[in-house]
Amino acid sequence: MEDEASPFETSEMMGSFLASTPLLEASWNLCSRANATAPGSFLTGQVESADLIAFSGTEFVNGSEADTDDLVPLAGVLGGLFSALDCRDGSSRGGGTDDERVMVHAGLLKRFLSIFESPGLQNRMKAMEERKRSVVLTVLCITFGSPLLGNKSLIRAILRQRWGGNFCHVVMRHDIVPRLLFAPLASLNTQLLCLLRCGQLPMMCPHSGQPAIQISNEQKAQLLRFVLDFAEARLTTTDEDMGTGLFWPFGTYLFCSEGGAICVDGHNTVATAKLLHLILATATATSCIDDHLKYGECVQKISLQFLKTKGFMEGNPPESSYEAGLALALESSGLASQELISISARDCLQTVRQINVAPTLNCANLAKCLSKITRNRAQIEWYKASCDVSDEQMGYYDSFKQNQASMREAHVNKFRIKLARFWDGVINMIDNNELPYDFHTRSKWINASHFYQLLVEPLDIAEYYRTGMHHKQGHYLKHGRERRHEIFDKWWKGKNINEEENKRRNFAGLTQDSCFWARVEEAQESLEKVRSERNPMKLAELWQGVEEVAEYARKLIENKRVSKDVLAKKSSYSLLEEELVQLRDMKSKLQQFPPQFPGLLRMN
């Protein structure tokens, strides 16, 4: 630890920076005005080059709706407005259980949609886009004392899209509102629940700074005990148990107290939830409500100079920058003087730091594993090359499919399985947020996965058809393709490769459509059905499918986007073309003779 740079110095600087810029204070002022003058709507403003849109935080839920505190799926909202967050894994597959689907607070979603669809907001957004003249607008969402929004799948989807840094939640030390949804609000007594649902939990009034309605000390104490009891359960929650709670924090948290401000990266959701509980545990019945009224005062007071005055004037200074940063973080969170709680808070801060380092370390270790597994890929490359020059003249796809009893093909199958196991492991690590959130955009991994896919997926297809899985489950493209290949397709397409600008002079080393052979297999089956099909409509459909595959293959060959094994004399594709030519020729002659293939005459 002695020589290690402190990550907590950075978080202290982040908190100082956010608190000292005009953006934070201007955002609060506009939100305060929106609460007072535009309940249920929004106000707009500008600070320097930034456009501001402030949404009212009062009356966000209609008290007559009993299910507004529930979680609802985000998929399909406004015709796919949030499509980037719809799928759990980034593949084309959606759905899943409630625990897997991205879900958000029903009342807040309803309020957002009512504002988003309003002509006023749409016109304002268009005006900003025209003035900025930018294809992409960078968005920073700042909340003040906001309740939790969604489930664990929402958090993971946001992190996977690398949007975590676009959310900054300002939370006063003892404000109970950001912790409310740790508890099931339906369990509250009727009076308190009515106050909350009617939006009457006190909000900052820009003129008087007084609560909109008075709550007795007994009610405050009851509410605090209720939330703390449920929030305390998060202290024993692990990442694997996240499904036991509904709402979880995401994004960056700016914790404010009399001691300053500290930014906590929300990549470790469980640790952030524990900090929310630990800091609230020092609250009183009065402070848990009063702190919700202090955001304006806090934003005005906190400044870079204020944080710089903090130091270690008493006692011995920490021996390392790591310990110094940790001490500053605890001091700014307001927990340094709470001996028992500060120990747990210190552990949470260390966990946050460790989780941020772990993905990078995992990625480095994975690179080592990739270099080791490459020898299996090289064996399959050698196998393909040997098939290309073999006297059998059928290419590696057909050789692997037809020679299942051969020792050579058995070894190739073993290499295929090892590579599949490695890449499935990579996908699992991504699903569990164990790798950097930009992992899928890194050229090293995009290229490695794409090369693997082009080389090995044809063997996956061959295995699927030679074992007869297409008779049990259906054809490969719709029913047999592994999820890893679907994900790798998305990675490659996201790289925006322009094939028109990369025209080839020679045939490709690997066929550039990894599913080419699956299309050939479907076309072969369609041709077999043509021989006996008597229904003209079905026959026309079969012929259309075959001709589409033939035309698609012709274009690939013309653009030299296939490997030479496709054109091998005895390859499945070459045999398909020969049979197709024969049947086309027979169609033109069969009118003169009794039909051997009844359906063919009906096509003329």
Q: Can you read off the two tokens belonging to residue 58?
A: 């009062």
Could you give the 3-state DSSP secondary structure of residue 148?
A: coil
Nearest to 433 by CA among 48, 131, 173, 155: 155
Q: Taking the model in full, what pTM does it have? A: 0.64
Q: Can you read off the two tokens belonging to residue 113?
A: 């949609």
Distance CA 604, CA 590 (A): 10
Element (H, E) at 230: helix 217-231
Nearest to 90 by CA among 514, 427, 359: 427
Which residues 6+ apart lie within 8 Å of 104 measured at CB? 71, 72, 74, 149, 150, 151, 154
Alpha helices in 467-560 (DSSP H): 469-472, 476-479, 483-494, 516-530, 536-558
Distance CA 29, CA 483 (A): 48
The long-range contacts involving 184-192, CB below 8 angstroms and separated by at least 24 positions, are: 184/230, 185/69, 186/69, 187/226, 188/223, 188/226, 189/222, 191/219, 192/219, 192/222, 192/223
Q: What is the mean pLDDT of each run of 10 residues along the chain (604 residues)?
A: 46 58 85 83 84 77 52 82 64 48 86 87 83 70 90 84 84 90 70 51 45 70 86 67 70 80 76 86 88 84 52 49 60 64 71 70 94 95 96 95 89 97 95 84 94 98 95 95 95 70 81 97 91 82 90 94 95 93 73 52 49
Contact 272, 352 (CB under 8 A): yes
Burial of 603 (0-12, 13-18, 19+ CB in 10 A): middle
Torsion of CA 174, 180, 186, 188, to 10 degrees: 0
Q: Can you read off the two tokens belonging to residue 587?
A: 């169609």
Distance CA 314, CA 126 (A): 56
Q: Is residue 203 left, alpha or beta, with left meaning phi > 0 and alpha meaning psi from -120 to 50? A: beta
Distance CA 597, CA 595 (A): 5
Beta strand 167-172 pairing with 252-257: parallel
φ, ψ of residue 142 in degrees (nearest 5):
-115, 125
Q: What pLDDT, on the 0 to 100 scale, is given for residue 569?
A: 94
Which CATH number fits the domain 7-337, given the four candidates 1.20.1450, 3.30.450, 1.10.3470, 3.40.50?
3.40.50
Nearest to 567 by CA among 491, 522, 525, 506: 506
Contact 82, 72 (CB under 8 A): no
Nearest to 239 by CA among 170, 159, 295, 312: 159
CA distances from 504 to 108, 136, 204, 433, 500 (A): 53, 34, 66, 39, 9
Domain boundaries along the sequence of the chain: 7-337, 392-601
Contact 187, 181 (CB under 8 A): no
In angstroms and rounded to an integer, the radius of gyration of the C-alpha atoms of the chain is: 31
Q: Can you read off the two tokens belonging to residue 115?
A: 């504002």
Q: How far apart are the first and last CA of the chain?
A: 82
Provide the residue type at 369 as one letter. C
Place of tokens 């897997």: 100
Q: What pLDDT, on the 0 to 100 scale, is given for residue 537?
A: 86
Q: What pLDDT, on the 0 to 100 scale, is given for residue 238?
A: 59
Distance CA 57, CA 45 (A): 17
Could you give the 3-state DSSP secondary structure of residue 490?
A: helix
CA distances from 515 to 49, 465, 475, 480 (A): 49, 13, 12, 11
Could you give the 3-state DSSP secondary structure of residue 458?
A: helix
Which residues lie across from 52 on neighbouring strands? 45
Contact 416, 482 (CB under 8 A): no
Q: What pLDDT, on the 0 to 100 scale, is given for residue 61?
A: 41
Q: What pLDDT, on the 0 to 100 scale, is given for residue 418?
A: 97
